[in-house]
Structure 1
Amino acid sequence: MTGWLGPEEWQAVALSLKVSFWATLASLPPGILAAHALARWRFPGRQLLNGLVHLPLILPPVVTGYLLLIAFGTRGPVGGFLEDLGIVFAFRWTGAALAAAVMAFPLMVRAIRLSIEAVDARLDQAGATLGASPPWVFVTVTLPMALPGIVAGAILGFAKAMGEFGATITFVSNIPGETRTVPMAIYAFLQVPGGTEPAMRLVIVSVVIAMSALLLSEWLGRAVAARVGGSHA
Protein backbone atom coordinates (compact mmCIF):
# COMPACT_ATOMS: atom_id res chain seq x y z
CA MET A 1 0.00 0.00 0.00
CA THR A 2 2.92 2.33 0.70
CA GLY A 3 3.94 2.17 -2.97
CA TRP A 4 0.44 2.76 -4.25
CA LEU A 5 -0.27 5.67 -1.93
CA GLY A 6 1.75 8.86 -1.91
CA PRO A 7 3.47 10.11 1.28
CA GLU A 8 0.66 12.52 2.12
CA GLU A 9 -1.99 9.88 1.54
CA TRP A 10 -0.16 7.30 3.62
CA GLN A 11 0.27 9.85 6.38
CA ALA A 12 -3.50 10.38 6.45
CA VAL A 13 -4.16 6.62 6.58
CA ALA A 14 -1.66 6.10 9.40
CA LEU A 15 -3.10 9.01 11.37
CA SER A 16 -6.65 7.70 10.88
CA LEU A 17 -5.67 4.28 12.20
CA LYS A 18 -3.96 5.90 15.20
CA VAL A 19 -6.89 8.18 15.95
CA SER A 20 -9.46 5.38 15.55
CA PHE A 21 -7.48 2.99 17.76
CA TRP A 22 -7.23 5.44 20.65
CA ALA A 23 -10.82 6.61 20.17
CA THR A 24 -12.04 3.03 20.46
CA LEU A 25 -9.78 2.21 23.40
CA ALA A 26 -10.84 5.31 25.32
CA SER A 27 -14.58 4.95 24.69
CA LEU A 28 -14.91 1.19 25.29
CA PRO A 29 -14.87 1.18 29.15
CA PRO A 30 -17.46 3.99 29.52
CA GLY A 31 -19.39 2.42 26.64
CA ILE A 32 -19.66 -0.88 28.50
CA LEU A 33 -20.70 0.92 31.70
CA ALA A 34 -23.33 3.01 29.91
CA ALA A 35 -24.68 -0.02 28.05
CA HIS A 36 -24.93 -2.03 31.27
CA ALA A 37 -26.67 0.83 33.06
CA LEU A 38 -29.24 1.21 30.27
CA ALA A 39 -29.78 -2.53 29.95
CA ARG A 40 -29.99 -3.52 33.62
CA TRP A 41 -30.49 -0.56 35.93
CA ARG A 42 -33.64 1.39 36.69
CA PHE A 43 -32.90 4.83 38.12
CA PRO A 44 -34.13 8.44 37.90
CA GLY A 45 -32.64 10.08 34.84
CA ARG A 46 -32.26 6.84 32.88
CA GLN A 47 -34.02 8.33 29.87
CA LEU A 48 -31.85 11.43 30.15
CA LEU A 49 -28.74 9.23 30.04
CA ASN A 50 -30.15 7.38 27.04
CA GLY A 51 -30.75 10.70 25.30
CA LEU A 52 -27.26 11.99 26.05
CA VAL A 53 -25.67 8.77 24.80
CA HIS A 54 -27.51 8.99 21.48
CA LEU A 55 -27.28 12.77 21.11
CA PRO A 56 -24.27 12.66 18.73
CA LEU A 57 -26.36 10.57 16.34
CA ILE A 58 -29.09 13.20 16.24
CA LEU A 59 -27.12 16.44 16.29
CA PRO A 60 -25.36 17.66 13.15
CA PRO A 61 -21.70 16.61 13.48
CA VAL A 62 -20.64 20.25 13.13
CA VAL A 63 -22.69 21.11 16.23
CA THR A 64 -21.03 18.30 18.17
CA GLY A 65 -17.62 19.56 17.07
CA TYR A 66 -18.49 23.11 18.08
CA LEU A 67 -19.64 21.96 21.53
CA LEU A 68 -16.37 20.06 21.93
CA LEU A 69 -14.47 23.20 20.96
CA ILE A 70 -16.37 25.24 23.55
CA ALA A 71 -15.78 22.66 26.28
CA PHE A 72 -12.30 21.35 25.43
CA GLY A 73 -10.75 24.36 23.70
CA THR A 74 -7.87 26.02 25.50
CA ARG A 75 -10.29 28.68 26.76
CA GLY A 76 -13.04 26.22 27.61
CA PRO A 77 -13.89 25.14 31.15
CA VAL A 78 -12.51 21.64 30.69
CA GLY A 79 -9.82 22.42 28.11
CA GLY A 80 -8.38 25.27 30.15
CA PHE A 81 -8.07 23.06 33.22
CA LEU A 82 -6.47 20.25 31.22
CA GLU A 83 -4.05 22.66 29.56
CA ASP A 84 -2.66 23.51 32.99
CA LEU A 85 -1.92 19.80 33.34
CA GLY A 86 -0.20 19.70 29.96
CA ILE A 87 -3.10 18.00 28.14
CA VAL A 88 -4.33 19.77 25.00
CA PHE A 89 -7.09 18.54 22.67
CA ALA A 90 -7.88 21.50 20.42
CA PHE A 91 -6.10 21.34 17.05
CA ARG A 92 -4.20 18.20 18.05
CA TRP A 93 -4.55 14.58 17.00
CA THR A 94 -5.75 13.83 20.52
CA GLY A 95 -8.69 16.14 19.82
CA ALA A 96 -9.40 14.20 16.63
CA ALA A 97 -9.47 11.02 18.72
CA LEU A 98 -11.84 12.67 21.22
CA ALA A 99 -14.20 13.79 18.46
CA ALA A 100 -14.13 10.35 16.84
CA ALA A 101 -14.80 8.69 20.21
CA VAL A 102 -17.81 10.92 20.86
CA MET A 103 -19.28 10.26 17.43
CA ALA A 104 -18.68 6.50 17.62
CA PHE A 105 -19.95 6.17 21.21
CA PRO A 106 -23.69 5.77 20.43
CA LEU A 107 -23.13 2.95 17.94
CA MET A 108 -20.79 1.17 20.32
CA VAL A 109 -23.19 1.48 23.26
CA ARG A 110 -26.15 0.26 21.22
CA ALA A 111 -24.38 -2.92 20.10
CA ILE A 112 -23.16 -3.69 23.62
CA ARG A 113 -26.52 -2.88 25.19
CA LEU A 114 -28.36 -5.28 22.88
CA SER A 115 -25.87 -7.99 23.76
CA ILE A 116 -26.29 -7.43 27.50
CA GLU A 117 -30.07 -7.41 27.18
CA ALA A 118 -29.84 -10.79 25.45
CA VAL A 119 -28.17 -12.28 28.54
CA ASP A 120 -30.76 -13.91 30.79
CA ALA A 121 -31.13 -11.68 33.85
CA ARG A 122 -31.83 -14.79 35.93
CA LEU A 123 -28.14 -15.69 35.60
CA ASP A 124 -27.27 -12.44 37.34
CA GLN A 125 -29.83 -13.17 40.03
CA ALA A 126 -28.42 -16.66 40.52
CA GLY A 127 -24.96 -15.23 41.06
CA ALA A 128 -26.33 -12.74 43.56
CA THR A 129 -28.09 -15.47 45.56
CA LEU A 130 -24.74 -17.26 45.88
CA GLY A 131 -23.35 -14.20 47.63
CA ALA A 132 -21.50 -12.56 44.75
CA SER A 133 -21.44 -8.77 44.70
CA PRO A 134 -23.02 -6.97 41.72
CA PRO A 135 -19.63 -5.95 40.25
CA TRP A 136 -18.37 -9.53 40.55
CA VAL A 137 -21.53 -10.88 38.92
CA PHE A 138 -21.06 -8.41 36.08
CA VAL A 139 -17.40 -9.36 35.56
CA THR A 140 -17.85 -13.12 35.84
CA VAL A 141 -21.32 -13.65 34.34
CA THR A 142 -22.69 -10.76 32.30
CA LEU A 143 -19.46 -9.57 30.69
CA PRO A 144 -18.35 -12.96 29.29
CA MET A 145 -21.86 -13.70 27.98
CA ALA A 146 -22.06 -10.29 26.33
CA LEU A 147 -18.57 -10.53 24.83
CA PRO A 148 -19.75 -10.98 21.21
CA GLY A 149 -21.64 -7.70 21.36
CA ILE A 150 -18.70 -5.96 23.02
CA VAL A 151 -16.36 -7.12 20.26
CA ALA A 152 -18.85 -6.10 17.58
CA GLY A 153 -19.42 -2.74 19.24
CA ALA A 154 -15.70 -2.04 19.48
CA ILE A 155 -15.11 -2.84 15.81
CA LEU A 156 -18.16 -0.86 14.75
CA GLY A 157 -16.91 2.09 16.80
CA PHE A 158 -13.49 1.79 15.17
CA ALA A 159 -15.03 1.83 11.70
CA LYS A 160 -17.17 4.85 12.58
CA ALA A 161 -14.12 6.66 13.97
CA MET A 162 -12.25 6.02 10.71
CA GLY A 163 -14.98 7.83 8.77
CA GLU A 164 -15.59 10.75 11.15
CA PHE A 165 -15.38 14.16 9.46
CA GLY A 166 -17.80 16.90 10.56
CA ALA A 167 -17.12 17.04 14.29
CA THR A 168 -13.40 16.53 13.78
CA ILE A 169 -12.83 19.32 11.26
CA THR A 170 -14.86 21.73 13.42
CA PHE A 171 -13.00 20.86 16.61
CA VAL A 172 -9.40 20.38 15.44
CA SER A 173 -9.39 21.82 11.90
CA ASN A 174 -7.61 20.13 8.96
CA ILE A 175 -3.91 20.26 9.75
CA PRO A 176 -1.61 18.06 7.61
CA GLY A 177 0.28 15.56 9.72
CA GLU A 178 -1.59 16.47 12.89
CA THR A 179 -5.36 16.19 12.37
CA ARG A 180 -5.77 15.40 8.65
CA THR A 181 -7.34 11.96 8.71
CA VAL A 182 -8.53 10.10 5.62
CA PRO A 183 -11.93 11.87 5.29
CA MET A 184 -10.33 15.28 5.64
CA ALA A 185 -7.53 14.37 3.22
CA ILE A 186 -10.17 13.38 0.65
CA TYR A 187 -11.91 16.70 1.20
CA ALA A 188 -8.62 18.60 0.84
CA PHE A 189 -7.63 16.76 -2.35
CA LEU A 190 -11.00 17.51 -3.94
CA GLN A 191 -10.44 21.23 -3.41
CA VAL A 192 -7.31 21.43 -5.58
CA PRO A 193 -6.67 20.75 -9.29
CA GLY A 194 -5.41 17.24 -9.93
CA GLY A 195 -6.58 15.99 -6.58
CA THR A 196 -9.20 13.59 -7.93
CA GLU A 197 -6.82 10.66 -8.32
CA PRO A 198 -5.34 10.69 -4.79
CA ALA A 199 -8.84 11.32 -3.42
CA MET A 200 -10.12 8.24 -5.25
CA ARG A 201 -7.27 6.13 -3.87
CA LEU A 202 -8.22 7.19 -0.36
CA VAL A 203 -11.88 6.46 -1.07
CA ILE A 204 -10.90 2.92 -2.06
CA VAL A 205 -8.83 2.57 1.13
CA SER A 206 -11.81 3.79 3.17
CA VAL A 207 -14.17 1.29 1.56
CA VAL A 208 -11.71 -1.58 2.07
CA ILE A 209 -11.15 -0.71 5.74
CA ALA A 210 -14.88 -0.26 6.41
CA MET A 211 -15.83 -3.56 4.74
CA SER A 212 -12.97 -5.37 6.47
CA ALA A 213 -14.13 -4.02 9.83
CA LEU A 214 -17.71 -5.15 9.24
CA LEU A 215 -16.64 -8.62 8.09
CA LEU A 216 -14.23 -8.93 11.02
CA SER A 217 -16.98 -7.86 13.39
CA GLU A 218 -19.29 -10.57 12.07
CA TRP A 219 -16.60 -13.24 12.15
CA LEU A 220 -15.31 -12.39 15.61
CA GLY A 221 -18.85 -12.09 16.93
CA ARG A 222 -19.70 -15.60 15.74
CA ALA A 223 -16.39 -17.01 16.96
CA VAL A 224 -16.72 -15.48 20.43
CA ALA A 225 -20.38 -16.46 20.65
CA ALA A 226 -19.50 -20.06 19.80
CA ARG A 227 -16.73 -20.14 22.39
CA VAL A 228 -18.89 -18.55 25.08
CA GLY A 229 -21.76 -20.88 24.25
CA GLY A 230 -19.45 -23.90 24.36
CA SER A 231 -17.96 -22.92 27.70
CA HIS A 232 -21.46 -22.57 29.22
CA ALA A 233 -22.87 -25.71 27.64
Structure 2
Amino acid sequence: MEDWSNWLGPAEWQAVRLSLRVSLVATLASLPLGILAAYALARWTFWGKPLLNGLVHLPLILPPVVTGYLLLLTFGRRGAVGEFLEQFGIVLSFRWTGAALAAAVMAFPLMVRAIRLALEAVDPKLEAAARTLGASPAWVFATVTLPLALPGVVAGSILAFAKAMGEFGATITFVSNIPGETQTIPSAIYAFLQVPGGEAAAGRLVIVSVALAMGALLLSELLARRVARRVAGA
Protein backbone atom coordinates (compact mmCIF):
# COMPACT_ATOMS: atom_id res chain seq x y z
CA MET A 1 0.00 0.00 0.00
CA GLU A 2 1.33 3.42 -0.93
CA ASP A 3 2.53 5.60 1.94
CA TRP A 4 0.56 8.80 1.39
CA SER A 5 2.56 10.59 4.09
CA ASN A 6 5.54 10.51 1.71
CA TRP A 7 3.56 11.56 -1.35
CA LEU A 8 4.80 15.14 -0.94
CA GLY A 9 8.44 15.93 -0.30
CA PRO A 10 9.67 18.13 2.59
CA ALA A 11 9.83 21.27 0.45
CA GLU A 12 6.31 20.61 -0.87
CA TRP A 13 4.87 20.06 2.59
CA GLN A 14 6.59 23.23 3.72
CA ALA A 15 4.88 25.18 0.93
CA VAL A 16 1.49 23.64 1.76
CA ARG A 17 1.78 24.42 5.47
CA LEU A 18 2.89 27.99 4.78
CA SER A 19 0.04 28.49 2.29
CA LEU A 20 -2.50 27.31 4.86
CA ARG A 21 -0.97 29.58 7.50
CA VAL A 22 -0.85 32.61 5.22
CA SER A 23 -4.39 32.06 3.92
CA LEU A 24 -5.88 31.55 7.37
CA VAL A 25 -4.22 34.66 8.80
CA ALA A 26 -5.19 36.70 5.73
CA THR A 27 -8.83 35.63 5.99
CA LEU A 28 -9.23 36.11 9.74
CA ALA A 29 -7.36 39.42 9.81
CA SER A 30 -9.39 40.93 6.96
CA LEU A 31 -12.80 39.60 8.05
CA PRO A 32 -13.75 42.45 10.46
CA LEU A 33 -12.83 45.09 7.87
CA GLY A 34 -14.62 43.07 5.21
CA ILE A 35 -17.84 43.01 7.22
CA LEU A 36 -17.57 46.76 7.87
CA ALA A 37 -16.94 47.56 4.21
CA ALA A 38 -19.77 45.28 3.08
CA TYR A 39 -22.19 46.83 5.56
CA ALA A 40 -21.21 50.34 4.48
CA LEU A 41 -21.78 49.49 0.82
CA ALA A 42 -25.03 47.64 1.51
CA ARG A 43 -26.75 49.98 3.96
CA TRP A 44 -25.09 53.38 4.21
CA THR A 45 -25.55 56.39 1.96
CA PHE A 46 -22.60 58.77 2.00
CA TRP A 47 -20.46 60.90 -0.25
CA GLY A 48 -17.69 58.86 -1.79
CA LYS A 49 -19.55 55.55 -1.74
CA PRO A 50 -18.72 54.86 -5.42
CA LEU A 51 -15.07 55.60 -4.62
CA LEU A 52 -15.10 53.12 -1.74
CA ASN A 53 -16.71 50.52 -3.96
CA GLY A 54 -14.04 51.13 -6.59
CA LEU A 55 -11.20 50.85 -4.08
CA VAL A 56 -12.60 47.61 -2.67
CA HIS A 57 -12.79 46.01 -6.10
CA LEU A 58 -9.61 47.54 -7.52
CA PRO A 59 -7.45 44.44 -6.84
CA LEU A 60 -9.75 42.46 -9.14
CA ILE A 61 -9.00 44.83 -12.03
CA LEU A 62 -5.36 45.73 -11.52
CA PRO A 63 -2.66 43.29 -12.61
CA PRO A 64 -1.52 41.42 -9.47
CA VAL A 65 2.06 42.57 -10.09
CA VAL A 66 0.90 46.20 -9.90
CA THR A 67 -0.86 45.50 -6.61
CA GLY A 68 2.28 43.86 -5.25
CA TYR A 69 4.41 46.79 -6.35
CA LEU A 70 2.04 49.25 -4.66
CA LEU A 71 2.25 47.18 -1.49
CA LEU A 72 6.04 47.27 -1.72
CA LEU A 73 6.01 51.04 -2.12
CA THR A 74 3.65 51.42 0.83
CA PHE A 75 4.71 48.70 3.26
CA GLY A 76 8.33 48.16 2.23
CA ARG A 77 11.14 49.22 4.54
CA ARG A 78 11.32 52.59 2.78
CA GLY A 79 7.58 52.95 2.31
CA ALA A 80 5.57 55.48 4.26
CA VAL A 81 3.74 52.86 6.31
CA GLY A 82 6.52 50.27 6.31
CA GLU A 83 9.10 52.70 7.68
CA PHE A 84 6.71 53.70 10.46
CA LEU A 85 5.90 50.08 11.37
CA GLU A 86 9.58 49.16 11.43
CA GLN A 87 10.03 51.51 14.39
CA PHE A 88 7.90 49.06 16.35
CA GLY A 89 9.74 46.01 15.03
CA ILE A 90 7.05 45.15 12.45
CA VAL A 91 8.50 44.22 9.06
CA LEU A 92 6.21 42.99 6.29
CA SER A 93 8.34 43.00 3.16
CA PHE A 94 10.03 39.66 2.47
CA ARG A 95 8.25 38.09 5.45
CA TRP A 96 5.38 35.60 5.64
CA THR A 97 3.27 38.32 7.26
CA GLY A 98 3.73 40.33 4.08
CA ALA A 99 2.53 37.35 2.09
CA ALA A 100 -0.57 37.29 4.29
CA LEU A 101 -1.11 41.01 3.64
CA ALA A 102 -0.81 40.54 -0.12
CA ALA A 103 -3.18 37.57 -0.05
CA ALA A 104 -5.68 39.52 2.07
CA VAL A 105 -5.67 42.46 -0.33
CA MET A 106 -6.21 40.25 -3.38
CA ALA A 107 -8.96 38.21 -1.70
CA PHE A 108 -10.74 41.17 -0.09
CA PRO A 109 -13.08 41.96 -3.03
CA LEU A 110 -14.48 38.41 -3.09
CA MET A 111 -15.08 38.47 0.63
CA VAL A 112 -16.80 41.86 0.58
CA ARG A 113 -19.02 40.99 -2.38
CA ALA A 114 -20.34 37.78 -0.81
CA ILE A 115 -21.00 39.47 2.54
CA ARG A 116 -22.62 42.47 0.87
CA LEU A 117 -25.06 40.27 -1.06
CA ALA A 118 -25.98 38.47 2.16
CA LEU A 119 -26.55 41.76 4.00
CA GLU A 120 -28.71 43.11 1.19
CA ALA A 121 -30.84 39.97 1.43
CA VAL A 122 -31.70 40.68 5.08
CA ASP A 123 -35.17 42.21 5.41
CA PRO A 124 -34.78 45.78 6.76
CA LYS A 125 -38.18 45.43 8.44
CA LEU A 126 -36.70 42.96 10.89
CA GLU A 127 -34.03 45.46 11.85
CA ALA A 128 -36.62 48.23 12.12
CA ALA A 129 -38.73 46.07 14.41
CA ALA A 130 -35.76 45.50 16.70
CA ARG A 131 -35.05 49.24 16.83
CA THR A 132 -38.65 50.01 17.80
CA LEU A 133 -38.12 47.75 20.82
CA GLY A 134 -35.29 49.98 21.97
CA ALA A 135 -32.30 48.09 20.63
CA SER A 136 -29.26 50.15 19.70
CA PRO A 137 -27.92 50.00 16.12
CA ALA A 138 -24.92 47.95 17.28
CA TRP A 139 -27.17 45.50 19.13
CA VAL A 140 -29.49 45.20 16.12
CA PHE A 141 -26.52 44.39 13.92
CA ALA A 142 -25.11 41.83 16.36
CA THR A 143 -28.40 40.05 17.12
CA VAL A 144 -30.44 40.43 13.93
CA THR A 145 -28.42 41.45 10.87
CA LEU A 146 -25.26 39.43 11.39
CA PRO A 147 -26.94 36.12 12.30
CA LEU A 148 -29.18 36.35 9.23
CA ALA A 149 -26.20 37.17 7.02
CA LEU A 150 -23.92 34.60 8.65
CA PRO A 151 -24.05 32.07 5.77
CA GLY A 152 -22.86 34.82 3.44
CA VAL A 153 -20.10 35.77 5.85
CA VAL A 154 -18.95 32.17 5.98
CA ALA A 155 -19.18 31.82 2.19
CA GLY A 156 -17.21 35.03 1.69
CA SER A 157 -14.55 33.86 4.12
CA ILE A 158 -14.20 30.54 2.33
CA LEU A 159 -13.90 32.23 -1.06
CA ALA A 160 -11.29 34.61 0.35
CA PHE A 161 -9.37 31.69 1.83
CA ALA A 162 -9.39 29.87 -1.51
CA LYS A 163 -8.28 33.02 -3.35
CA ALA A 164 -5.49 33.58 -0.81
CA MET A 165 -4.30 30.00 -1.34
CA GLY A 166 -3.85 30.69 -5.05
CA GLU A 167 -2.37 34.18 -4.86
CA PHE A 168 0.92 34.52 -6.74
CA GLY A 169 1.57 37.78 -8.59
CA ALA A 170 1.18 40.29 -5.78
CA THR A 171 2.87 37.97 -3.29
CA ILE A 172 6.03 37.28 -5.28
CA THR A 173 6.37 40.97 -6.14
CA PHE A 174 5.99 42.12 -2.54
CA VAL A 175 7.76 39.40 -0.57
CA SER A 176 9.72 37.47 -3.23
CA ASN A 177 9.97 33.65 -3.24
CA ILE A 178 11.90 32.60 -0.13
CA PRO A 179 11.62 28.89 0.81
CA GLY A 180 10.24 28.45 4.30
CA GLU A 181 9.38 32.14 4.64
CA THR A 182 7.29 33.35 1.70
CA GLN A 183 7.21 30.37 -0.71
CA THR A 184 3.55 29.39 -0.88
CA ILE A 185 2.08 26.72 -3.17
CA PRO A 186 1.93 28.92 -6.32
CA SER A 187 5.46 30.21 -5.71
CA ALA A 188 6.72 26.67 -5.12
CA ILE A 189 5.11 25.47 -8.35
CA TYR A 190 6.82 28.29 -10.22
CA ALA A 191 10.17 27.46 -8.58
CA PHE A 192 9.89 23.73 -9.32
CA LEU A 193 9.13 24.44 -12.98
CA GLN A 194 12.37 26.41 -13.29
CA VAL A 195 14.63 23.47 -12.41
CA PRO A 196 15.20 20.23 -14.35
CA GLY A 197 13.17 17.34 -12.97
CA GLY A 198 10.87 19.57 -10.96
CA GLU A 199 7.77 18.82 -13.02
CA ALA A 200 6.68 15.94 -10.77
CA ALA A 201 6.79 18.04 -7.61
CA ALA A 202 5.00 20.89 -9.39
CA GLY A 203 2.33 18.44 -10.58
CA ARG A 204 1.71 17.17 -7.06
CA LEU A 205 1.29 20.71 -5.78
CA VAL A 206 -1.09 21.47 -8.65
CA ILE A 207 -3.25 18.53 -7.54
CA VAL A 208 -3.25 19.81 -3.96
CA SER A 209 -4.11 23.32 -5.12
CA VAL A 210 -7.00 22.14 -7.33
CA ALA A 211 -8.38 19.93 -4.54
CA LEU A 212 -8.34 22.76 -2.02
CA ALA A 213 -9.88 25.24 -4.45
CA MET A 214 -12.66 22.87 -5.56
CA GLY A 215 -13.46 21.96 -1.97
CA ALA A 216 -13.76 25.63 -1.04
CA LEU A 217 -15.95 26.43 -4.06
CA LEU A 218 -18.28 23.50 -3.40
CA LEU A 219 -18.65 24.48 0.24
CA SER A 220 -19.30 28.08 -0.75
CA GLU A 221 -21.98 26.95 -3.24
CA LEU A 222 -23.74 24.91 -0.57
CA LEU A 223 -23.82 27.91 1.73
CA ALA A 224 -25.08 30.15 -1.09
CA ARG A 225 -27.99 27.78 -1.68
CA ARG A 226 -28.79 27.90 2.01
CA VAL A 227 -28.99 31.70 1.81
CA ALA A 228 -31.28 31.47 -1.23
CA ARG A 229 -33.64 29.08 0.58
CA ARG A 230 -33.72 31.36 3.61
CA VAL A 231 -34.57 34.41 1.50
CA ALA A 232 -37.25 32.50 -0.44
CA GLY A 233 -38.86 31.34 2.76
CA ALA A 234 -38.82 34.77 4.41
**Which residue is equivalent to 1:128?**
131
Residue-by-residue CA offset, 1:119-167 (whole Å, 9 max, x unaligned): 1111111122222111111111100000010000000000000000000
Q: 1:37 aligns with which of 35, 40, 47?
A: 40
**Which residue is equivalent to 1:140?**
143
Q: CA deviation at 1:222?
A: 5.3
Q: 2:13 aligns with which of 10, 14, 17?
A: 10
**Which residue is equivalent to 1:186?**
189
Residue-by-residue CA offset, 1:64-84 (whole Å, 9 max, x unaligned): 000000110011111111111
Residues 1-233 of structure 1 correspond to what in structure 2 (within 5 A)?
A: 1-220=4-223
Give structure 1 regions of 4+ aligned residues with deviation exceeding 6 angstroms: 223-226
**Separation in 1 of the partners of 2:210 and 2:170?**
20
**Separation in 1 of the partners of 2:139 and 2:228?**
21
**Separation in 2 of the partners of 1:68 and 1:184?**
18
Unpaired segments ≥5 residues, structure 2: none
TM-score, structure 1 as length reference: 0.94
**Separation in 1 of the partners of 2:109 and 2:136?**
28
- Percentage of identical aligned residues: 77
**Separation in 2 of the partners of 1:86 and 1:156?**
32
Q: What is the root-mean-square deviation of aligned Cα atoms in Å?
A: 1.7
Unpaired segments ≥5 residues, structure 1: none
Q: CA deviation at 1:224?
A: 8.0
**For residues 223 and 3 of structure 1, do their structure 2 counterparts lie closer, same or farther at Cα, with a shift above 3 Å needed?**
farther
Secondary structure class of the residue paired with 1:2 = helix
TM-score, structure 2 as length reference: 0.94
**Separation in 2 of the partners of 1:2 and 1:75?**
43
Q: CA deviation at 1:212?
A: 1.1
**Separation in 2 of the partners of 1:74 and 1:117?**
40
Q: CA deviation at 1:218?
A: 3.1
Supply the AA of the counterpart residue of 1:204.
I
**Separation in 1 of the partners of 2:151 and 2:56?**
21
Q: Is the 8 A contact 1:28 1:154 kept in 2?
A: yes
Which is worse superposed, 17-26 or 1-10? 1-10
**Separation in 2 of the partners of 1:39 and 1:224?**
16
**Separation in 2 of the partners of 1:2 and 1:82?**
40
Q: Is the 8 A contact 1:124 1:142 kept in 2?
A: yes
**Separation in 2 of the partners of 1:94 and 1:133?**
37
Residue-by-residue CA offset, 1:41-67 (whole Å, 9 max, x unaligned): 001111111000000001110000000
Secondary structure class of the residue paired with 1:170 = helix
Residue-by-residue CA offset, 1:92-129 (whole Å, 9 max, x unaligned): 00000000000000000000000000011111111222
Aligned length: 230
Q: CA deviation at 1:217?
A: 2.4
